[in-house]
Structure 1
Amino acid sequence: PAEQVATWLIQHEQYVVVNDLHKVDFWDPDAPGAAGLRSAMGVLLETNDDVQGVMVLLSHRVNAFSEEQVRLLLAAANQVASHISSAELYHLIREQAERLGHLLRQEQEEAERNTAILESIADGVILADADGSVMLFNSAAERILDLPREQVQGQLLSELGKLYGERVRTWAQALDQWAHQLKTDTEGRALDQRFDLGNRVVSVNVSPVFSGERFLGTVAVFRDITRDVEIDRIKSDFITRVSHEFRTPLTPIKGYTDLLLMGAAGSLAEQQENALAKIKSNVDRLATLVDDVLSIAKIDRGLQKLEIVEVDLRELIINVVDRLQQRPHHAARNHTVNVEIAKDLPNIQADRDRVINIIANVVDNAFSYTPAGGKIDVEAARQPGTNSVLITVRDTGLGIPENFREKVWQRFERYEEHALELEVSGTGLGLPIVKELVALHNGDVWFESEEGVGTTFFISLPINQPGYMTTTQTMMANTESTGD
């Protein structure tokens, strides 16, 4: 029966005194337990306008409760409400403290687990905060860099290279420049470098860490690649030696074949001439392969130097295209070949032999992957808006499939389906060599292709090379230096 009073009280008043329950609308005398009850007194249990509950007193007498009793009940209700609120607050604080403690334990366990992982990996790891101060320096980093962590932690990452002096000056300068660019570079580009550290070679990758656009810090990963570098050197030496051994017998074979074809040993029957022509063609292919392998070996070892001279691109392109067009396996396909050289095309400063390699490889690809009766266009002109020339090689060949385009510049990669279809020989070294040689000339090379329609290669080469002087300039410089 007290619920009837409590419900009405919550909806209407802070407290109530009912002298006769049978005279109020909300009372149901037939409710269970209500028989004989005649008067009531009730107050709300409130804390900051938040109802915690209700206190109700009932009596079998009419007019059983006085105003004095109401004031006493209100005072008691305030005390009870305060204690209830305090108890709830205590439980809430306790729950929050337990939850926070659990989260802190989880975070500590996660940090310990991450630290254990970082300490166990073979690569050196350095973690710096947003200000560049080193926070973490694992044991592998100590071993690879030969530095105690006590000496490094707290130091600026950009100052790390300076601990070695001149030995890693180049890397230190690159790191300083990267750190400066990072202030305005929101893309977060990584820095990849390698440097010699005594008798060891160390590779380092430095990456920024962002949360959205907020820069959190830097992670540097160091790896001792001395063994890998030594293996590459041994491999390059082996390839170079083997290639030279291949080239040695090829030279007389090619020479004597040419002499026989010229009739030096007497006239040849048609069948003999065809046989010698096949020998010559395959010797040329093998010689080209050996040259490609030697070029790759030189590039890998940093021995590919450029002999810069004035190069007449017009003459060079025409000669390369004519030579390739006359190869028997190209000539047999009856391609339509157009060469268009701009009248104002300037000479360029370049390594003549390397430019021949570049153009020959790209044009040879156009011949090789264009079916019989197809069309090949070779164009050269000034590149608009630049101090460069643009050589364009366009064919109506098979095109390069979408899923293979990223592999075009990778070594020993060929799309075998097209190579088998058109009986194209090769190792997949031509285009990687082109890219390396173009880069050595401070140029660029790219392509556009549509499968079943054809491919267009673009080769951009600068007209002038930094530090190169023409013959006239050299003579003038020598004259000035001698005072004549």
Structure 2
Amino acid sequence: MSLLGVVLVTVVLWQTADRVSVVDGVGLPDGWLMLGLTVLTCASELTVVRLRHGDAVEELNLYEAALVVVVLLLPPGQALLAALLALVVASAAQRRPLVKAVFNLGTYAAAVSGLILVVYTVGGTPGHMTAGVLFGVLLGTLLFTVINLCCLAQILGVIGGVSPWRIIRDEAPLSAYMAVGTVATGLTTVEIARHSPMLLPFMAMPALALTFAYRAAAQEADERARSARLLELSQVLAEREDLIRRFLLLLREAFGADVAVADLTDAGEAVSVDVNAPAEIATGPVPPYLTRLRDVDRPEHLSTGLPADLRHLLVVPIEASGRRFGTVALGSRSRRGRQLSMRDMTLLAPLGDALAVALRGAEHLDRLVEESSKLHAVVEQSSAGIVMVEGAGIVRMWNEAFADLTGVSAAEADGRRLADLLDVPDADDRARLLPVTPQSPKTAAEFTIRRADGELRRLRLAHSAVFNGDRLVRDVIVITDLTREYRAERLKSDFIATVSHELRTPLTPILGYLDLLRTRGAKMTPEKRAQALDLVADRARHMSRLVEDLLLTSRIDDGQDDPALRVDLDAHDLVALVRQVADDMGGADGRIVTHLPGEPVQVRCDAGRTIQVVGNLVSNALKYSPSAERVEVRLCVRDERALVEVVDRGRGIPADQLTKVFEKFHRVEDPMTMSTGGTGLGLFIARRLASAMGGDISLISALGTGSTFTLALPLARPHVS
């Protein structure tokens, strides 16, 4: 801009070097006339009305009116010199920053040069007022206004972060009215000076009227800006996000203050926003001048006892519902800046109360969020399923525990009906999904659901509902999984039925033969009596093994250090042990077929327990295979382990039962309809004993094709084939 001013000044001096004034007849020597007009122009520049644009300030004055007089009454060179000299003197008197002074000088140099060129080009130098002169002055003044407005819009746009075109659009009407007013004032002054100099003092009245018009426009603009900021303040107080910083920024802008400070008593520090750094917030110790005002119980307007850089200070308490949060203060620095008044105090006081209410609400909201977070954590981490439904059973909350129970995720459940999410096989149970009524808002119900994978689960739903009249508002349901309890109860019933059956089977012949021996034993032949006694002994041993298995299972379950649980590990020939099992069973009438290596296979095991485990596996295979089918027993070495495979051609085991057959008391058959004997303890004990010897038992089975049980034991030494 300074470069443009230099160029235009050069053009003016070159094009109008030999020109005289546009009008003449004032009757004063050129020197005195130039001095008087320079003083007049300087005084007009000092008559300032400030118009705020956010953080920037536009200064309105009578400089343009004085400039019209200077351009008409002085030759071009003198007019340009008087205008710029008056501007320099005024800037020095107002102590404007150097950058701003240089910018203004460059802007006005360009604008004044444009005005002079248009006036002399359009109106010429007729020596008196003509239509051409009037038109030239009007056109030149409009050009002067356009140049000034464009330059000002660029600066205000950078400072305020808004579009320069928006500023030009908003300010153009006022600038045009002001241009016409300054032209009228300047032309009238020139004509009175030429023809009736005695009336010149009365020209102060239109100038004053124009000044007051400027001030009214500035006040109106300030009020519009303040209203906009107060509206934004209400939104900030409602949103409560970054509350203090945004509140102080808007408060300072709304009141045209230089600094806004909030002294937060609880925090023990002050938050401030300064006009010199409008986008930054400063947090630090409370200034001394605010510390002594912490206990003010009413608004204060101070102009004494302040720091050197503050001239005025408004202080209001921040209080709500008997709670004091601190104080908020607005300060102004410069004499030329906007003076804070008691009228500002009446607006600031309720804003301080509104800030206190917002801070109190923010505290409540923080506590509510904290409590909600705790409640959410409890709900999500709860091992019990928790569901909340509204209205007609619409799901609004579905925690992770219930998602695991049902296999339905919370995202899938939200917004859907509870009855549509749970697969309840029993129609009566479906009707009891929401059993609550206004008369019975708290109740509980049990029923079975089917998961998507087909598994059945027994659940207990405890309802706690809230009604509005007859309408269900909310029902919080706590779900407990009773599946294990029901399975344990079923297992208990199955165990009682199984053990009763197993005890009754050997006990019946024992009682029968004992009664026979008691009543007819003397008449029986020795051979018959010996057979009866052998049978009684065999059945008694069977009962003894059953009781021993029950006791061993109890000790394993309780973790007792019982001798029955101990294994004596040593090197033994597994081939010999397997052969002994087959021999002890007498080959089961030719049904047991062995495939054993021709050389010993040394394993580290307990010989007696190994015979017990292998015998259990072979006995199970014989029991669950048709009587015409053979049971194969194979022994091989693989990966430094000896494997004993017992293969049957029985009915096989369902896939969902493969891991459960090793659980205690588990029977693949229903105990009430089973066709084979057993307590369901053999495989449980066998796997525990195998594990105690450092081995394991695995199972491969398929329905209709049979099963293969494999006992794996560690080798006592590397096996050489």
More relative contact order, 1 or 2 (CA 8 Å, 6+ apart): 1
TM-score by length of 1: 0.45
Greater percentage in helix: 2
- TM-score, structure 2 length as denominator? 0.31
Which of the two has higher C-alpha Rg?
A: 2
